[in-house]
Amino acid sequence: MRIQALTDKLREERTLSDAEFEELFAILSQGASGPCADQVRICNDIPQAVCSPEEAVLYGAARQVREEYYGKDVYLRGLIEFTNYCRNDCRYCGIRRSNRNAERYRLSKEQILDCCAQGYALGFRTFVLQGGEDLSYTDEKICDIVSSIRSLYPDCAITLSIGEKTRESYKAYKDAGADRYLLRQETSSPAHYRYLHPEELTIENRKRCLADLKDLGYQVGCGIMVGSPEQTLSNVIEDLRYMRDFGPHMVGVGPFIPHRDTPFRDEKPGTLKDTLHLLAVIRLMLPGVLLPATTALGTIHPVGRELGLLAGANVIMPNLSPVNVRGKYLLYDGKICTGDEAASCRSCMDRRIERAGYRTALVRGDCAGFAAE
Ligand code: SF4
């Protein structure tokens, strides 16, 4: 079976030639749309967890590899979306600065610390502070928030996801106690990047930020949108090559979902299948990477996150933001989990993880093999 040979090669050599990647994705997409009679069940407790025999080979290998590194553990990250103000105008994003319909909010330091306290009591040992590029949170304020969390919760990891900054700013956050940083490049191709972003943002600066973060000792997450407007297979292969060369500790991969107040409102969303294929390929290519089954995946399919775990993902990021602001942090339409209290999110997530055959691990959940300096 050709899929077996390609999967084995990817697992052993951690890369394929462009022609082999093209062949792999062609086989997977043909299998994914093939006759139902061929379908293989990959999880007894989830009726929707069926796929083509070709996909079953790839997903099976991805699960084996994730289990070699992480066993059955799934790490939880408590996501605190602390501001939806942003100075940027990315064409796909619901909180872009030119969206006059977005109801803006900011959380105070006290509100952020309340979210952490609630999360800590629920067992979270990583807090992710995420926001638009909101200049009202100066470096001084960010450092104050980070160092307060660091001193209150020395056993927790602190992740920042607040966009492009100078090396000096990244260093200041690191010195204040931040451990990890998420900055998806969204696409590695300069032309495609130009299409998705406003003039003032460049892929060169995005990559400079990622390189600085890694150099400063952060665990760094990059990532892409699957099925974004004008994305081609060669863009995706270029993304895979960038990730392989860069060596991230985390990779965020979720489907593009249009937002009604953006120029991409009428574009088609990315698909579940394409996202799952890519998750599995990334697991084989970067075996120890932290790989979230994203909320966007759960938004396009009722058990999307469970299917993500079955394709090699090992992280879930439940929302710890106050319920009254969750519905305002809408990067895309239809986002799930905007109404549930953190406690019910946590137990919902435990059930979902268990049904997929895994278990929630209430630990920091660092990248396998990462040794902080
Ligand atoms: S994607 Fe990020 S940087 Fe771009 S507009 Fe949205 S929040 Fe701002």
pLDDT digits (tens, 9 = 90+) for 340-369: 788 888 999 999 999 999 999 999 999 998
pLDDT digits (tens, 9 = 90+) for 228-272: 999 999 999 999 999 999 999 999 999 999 999 999 999 999 999
pLDDT digits (tens, 9 = 90+) for 311-331: 999 999 999 999 999 989 999
Residue nearest to atom 3 of ligand 1 (CA): 88
Q: What percentage of residues in the chain have a pLDDT greater than 70?
A: 98
Quick check: 57 pLDDT over 70?
yes
Report the alpha-carbon angle 35-7-293, nearest 5: 75
Distance 164 CA to ligand 1 centre (A): 10
Rounded (to 5) percent helix, strand, coil in the chain: 45, 15, 40
Quick check: 97 pLDDT over 70?
yes
Task: Please report the pLDDT score of residue 95 as a whole number.
Answer: 97
Report the alpha-carbon angle 110-113-115, nearest 5: 115
Task: Please report the pLDDT score of residue 33 as a whole number.
Answer: 66
Distance 150 CA to ligand 1 centre (A): 26
pLDDT digits (tens, 9 = 90+) for 133-153: 999 999 999 999 999 999 999
Task: Please report the pLDDT score of residue 35 as a whole number.
Answer: 62
Quick check: 373 pLDDT over 50?
no
Task: Please report the pLDDT score of residue 372 as a whole number.
Answer: 54
Average pLDDT, the chain: 96
Task: Please report the pLDDT score of residue 36 as a whole number.
Answer: 64
Continuous segment of H or E residues that includes residue 244: helix 233-246
Quick check: 227 pLDDT over 50?
yes
Task: Please report the pLDDT score of residue 270 as a whole number.
Answer: 98
The atom of ligand 1 lying closest to the CA of 86 is 8
Quick check: 81 pLDDT over 60?
yes
Distance 95 CA to ligand 1 centre (A): 7
Q: Which residues surround ligand 1 with Cβ inside 6 Å?
A: 86, 88, 90, 93, 95-96, 132-133, 163
Residue nearest to atom 5 of ligand 1 (CA): 96
Distance 56 CA to ligand 1 centre (A): 35
Distance 92 CA to ligand 1 centre (A): 8
Domains of the chain: 2-66 (no CATH), 71-361 (3.20.20.70)
Task: Please report the pLDDT score of residue 216 as a whole number.
Answer: 98
Q: Give the span between the Cα atoms of 93 and 275, in whole angstroms.
A: 19
Give me the phi and psi of 37, to 5 degrees please: -60, -25
Q: Give the span between the Cα atoms of 207 and 238, in whole angstroms.
A: 14
**pLDDT band at 32; cut points 50, 70, 90:** low
